[in-house]
Amino acid sequence: MNDAPKKAGPVQPVASAQSTGVDFFGLGLNLVGLVAGILIWWLLTASGAVGLPRPPEVVSKFIEVIANGQLATDLMSSLARVLTGFLIGVITAIPVGFAMGWYTVARSLIDPYLQFFRMIPPLAIIPLAIVTMGIDETPKIFVIFLASFLASVVATYQGVISVDKTMINAARVLGAKDLTIFLRVIIPASTPFILVGVRIGLGSAWATLVAAELIAAQTGLGFRMQQAQLYYDLPTIFVSLITIGILGLAMDRILLAIERLLTNWQERV
């Protein structure tokens, strides 16, 4: 009898949700939470405990505004304002944040203004924006831009100053110049902070939308909510709220996917 141990063959990888990158358990919990929230909403409104519209009323209003094209018009108007203000804010904030983090002089010059405007809510800027920019699209986009810019620039600045000084010193010892250190060390190390700031800036842009559309808007989700408030049209308010939430969630998930792609070197829980 041959008692020699048999040579083990190669271990076959076991397919799992983790290996495919799809968290089916998390998605299932998301679905359960969504259904539970709708059921609680339905029960509370059916019992008369809260004076909110019932889910069927909101669904009926959704169908109505989709059929007459109102939702598409409002959605495109609001989306154009949010994307324009958000993109301008982020594109401006990233170089400013890098300059503040890398150059002490720039930090000293810009930081007082940055902290000053951070303390002022975007709603308070609206009267000044109307007086100086008129009532067309410019002041609406400016208010959204300001909210996005302030969130993104702080995160970028924090990312730059949080880079491990040991890596910078090691690069200098190896003969790297400032430009090489900036491109090969500072930018990769601060990217997670920047992307978190971009996500916060996106949330700020959507949160500022309703206030921005106070400025003589004729279309938009925020404008529609304000009009519905005058007539106590709760289903229309809910339609706009849900649409903003869905759009914001979808855009946030896109940014989250980009973040995972650009920072796949990070260990995640």
Residue range 96-138, pLDDT digits in tens: 999 998 888 989 999 999 889 888 887 788 888 888 888 888 8
Task: Answer whether 126's CB lies under 8 Å from 143's CB.
Answer: yes
Could you give the CA distance from residue 251 to residue 248 in angstroms, rounded to a whole number?
5
Separation of CA 172 from chain center: 36
Q: What is the pLDDT of residues 185-223, one digit of tens each?
A: 888 888 888 998 999 999 889 888 888 887 778 889 988
In the prediction, which pLDDT does 20 show?
47
For residue 217, which of 113, 140, 148 has the smallest C-alpha distance? Answer: 140
Q: How confident is the model at residue 65 (pLDDT cuts 50, 70, 90)?
A: very high
pLDDT reported for residue 22 = 58
Span 148-191, pLDDT tens digits: 999 899 999 988 888 888 888 888 888 888 888 888 888 888 88
Instruction: Assign domain 53-262 to its CATH superfamily.
Output: MetI-like (1.10.3720.10)
Res 96: pLDDT: 93
Q: Tell me: the pLDDT tens digits for 31-61?
A: 888 888 888 888 888 777 677 888 888 899 9
pLDDT tens digit string along 79-98? 999 999 999 999 999 999 99
At 10 the pLDDT is 47
Domain boundaries of the chain, sorted by first residue: 23-52, 53-262
**Three-state SS string across the chain, please?**
CCCCCCCCCCCCCCCCHHHHCCCHHHHHHHHHHHHHHHHHHHHHHHCCCCCCCCHHHHHHHHHHHHHCCHHHHHHHHHHHHHHHHHHHHHHHHHHHHHHHHHCHHHHHHHHHHHHHHHCCCHHHHHHHHHHHHCCCHHHHHHHHHHHHHHHHHHHHHHHHHCCCHHHHHHHHHCCCCHHHHHHHHHHHHHHHHHHHHHHHHHHHHHHHHHHHCCCCCCCCHHHHHHHHHHCCCHHHHHHHHHHHHHHHHHHHHHHHHHHHHHCCCCCCC
**pLDDT reported for residue 269:** 55
Q: Which one-letter amino acid corresponds to residue 155?
A: A
Averaged over 226-254, what is the pLDDT? 90
pLDDT of residue 18: 45
pLDDT of residue 229: 87
